[in-house]
Structure 1
Amino acid sequence: MKNKMTKKCFTTVAMLALTFLVLISCKKNSGGGNGGQEIYLSCKINGTLHEFNYHVNANDKPATDTVHFVVIGGWEKSDMVTGFGIDMQIDKGAKEATYASNSVAGLLLSGKYYIQQMKDGKIVGTTIFNGGDVDGSNFTMTITSLTQWGVKGTFSGKLRLLTGDEYLTVTDGKFSAPYN
């Protein structure tokens, strides 16, 4: 009798743990846990649409009312080989507005498209195109919503290969990213 109760108790605890894990894993990039908000990051690179909708998120939720950092990122596929990221740091605090790289003092803004080179399942290098903080490049981001949930907006720019003179044009960028 005691053995049956122990087995039943163990089964119940295991099922509760499994249910908990499923609920946690569904939190991001699905209908659950996102406050009804869509989650996405996409743009056209040299005219071709790229969707970076895997693991899309923004920085940690700000600890104060003034938001000094806005960081958004996502991967094109679940293999995490190609991705896009946006980094902004602003002394005066971010607002719902348009920001252009190098446009005002106290603003650092860049967009990055990166491609990891893999060999035998390991990263052996990364090709990075950067816009906003590399000579000959530029980057613009418009924040359309900055809430307790996260950040939404649009972006565009001219990205330059960090190790050469190759350029990419980014247009029609848009994002909706929850805080971590």
Structure 2
Amino acid sequence: MKNWMFKRPCAIMLWVAVIIMGFTACKKGGGGSGSDQDVYMSCKLNGTLHEFNYHVNANDHPATDTVHFVVIGGWEKEDMVTGFGIDMQIDKGAKEATYVSNSAAGLLLSGKYYIQNMKDGKIVNTTIYNGGDVDGSNFTMTITSLTEWGVKGTFSGKLRLLDGDEFIAVTDGKFSAPYNRTGS
């Protein structure tokens, strides 16, 4: 069963990110110009600035001193139609360092830009651009701060449309995401 997780890391990490952001949406307010100035996520997609400052959040606060998962996400608008997520799983534990997808054993790293496609007010499917674990793509994340509060850093990459040959260049990415706190 454990091998299944490593054979399908893209699907698992996407669902983990979506679930975490779903819990965040229920628990926290906050948006583009919210009261907490230290919470943000933005990047340029093909040269155009996108701010994913709604419900920016990291994974739950780690239960141990070793951080094996770093999951960060945010939405472009309150409607949750477009978003960006970063998913990292690392055997040795995350540190303040630069991580490059597919560069080391025991490291799974990807960035995802997704668009919920709507029809009659309902989500009919999702367009996903993935970088890091799809052929022809790449993703880099630098963790500049990993504290009790959360995680901060930068990111960039080349994302590929799942089931397609379209690419998006991600540049000037930066984030500052608090851990999801249960009971807050």
TM above 0.5, yes or no, is yes
> Whose Rg is larger?
1
Structure 1 Cα separation of the partners of residues 157 and 86 of structure 2: 11
SS in 1 for 2:89: strand
Partner in structure 2 of residue 133 of structure 1: 133
Please state how far the C-alpha of 1:134 moved relative to its aligned partner: 0.1
Question: Counterpart in 2 of 1:21?
Answer: none
Question: Could you tell me which residue of structure 1 aligns to residue 62 of structure 2?
Answer: 62
Q: Per-residue CA shift, 1:115-158, capped at 9, x if unaligned?
A: 01011211100000000000000000000000000000000000
Q: Could you say which residue in structure 2 is the equivalent of 1:151? A: 151
Within-5 A mapping of 1:43-62: 43-62=43-62
Q: How many residues of Structure 1 are paired with residues of Structure 2 in the alignment?
A: 152
* Residues 84-134 of structure 1: per-residue CA shift (max 9 Å, x gap): 000000000000000000000000000000001011211100000000000
SS in 1 for 2:172: strand
* Separation of aligned partners in 1, 2:41 and 2:120: 29
Query: Gapped runs of 5+ residues in structure 1?
Result: 1-23
Residue deviations 1:48-96, cap 9 Å, x none?
0000000000000000000000000000001110000000000000000
Task: Please list, as runs of the form range in 1=range in 2, the aligned pairs for 1:80-99 lying within 5 A after superposition.
Answer: 80-99=80-99
**2:118 aligns to what?**
118
Which whole-Å CA distance do the structure 1 matches of 2:124 and 2:84 have between them?
A: 19
Question: Matched residues in 1 for 2:122 and 2:28: separation?
Answer: 25
In structure 2, C-alpha distance between the alignment counterparts of 1:25 and 1:88, rounded to whole Å:
23
Q: Note if 1:171 corresponds to 2:174.
A: no
- List gaps (5 residues or longer) in structure 2: 1-26
- Fraction of identical pairs, as percent: 84
Task: Write the distance in 1 (CA, Å) between the matches of 2:149 and 2:84.
Answer: 21
Cα RMSD of the aligned pairs, angstroms, is 1.3
- 1:140/1:25 CA distance change after superposition, 3 Å: closer
Give the Cα separation in 2 of the matches to 1:54 and 1:170.
Answer: 19
Q: In structure 1, how many angstroms separate the alpha carbons of the residues matched to 2:60 and 2:28?
A: 18
The whole-number CA distance in structure 2 between the counterparts of 1:44 and 1:25 is: 26
Is the Cα contact below 8 Å between 2:28 and 2:55 reproduced in 1? no
- The 4+ residue runs of structure 1 with deviation greater than 2 A are 28-31
Instruction: Give the counterpart letter for 2:177 in structure 1.
Output: A
Aligned to 2:79: 79
TM-score for both structures, normalised by structure 2: 0.80
Determine the C-alpha separation between the residues in 1 that align with 2:169 and 2:41: 16
In structure 2, how many angstroms separate the alpha carbons of the residues matched to 1:65 and 1:164? Answer: 40
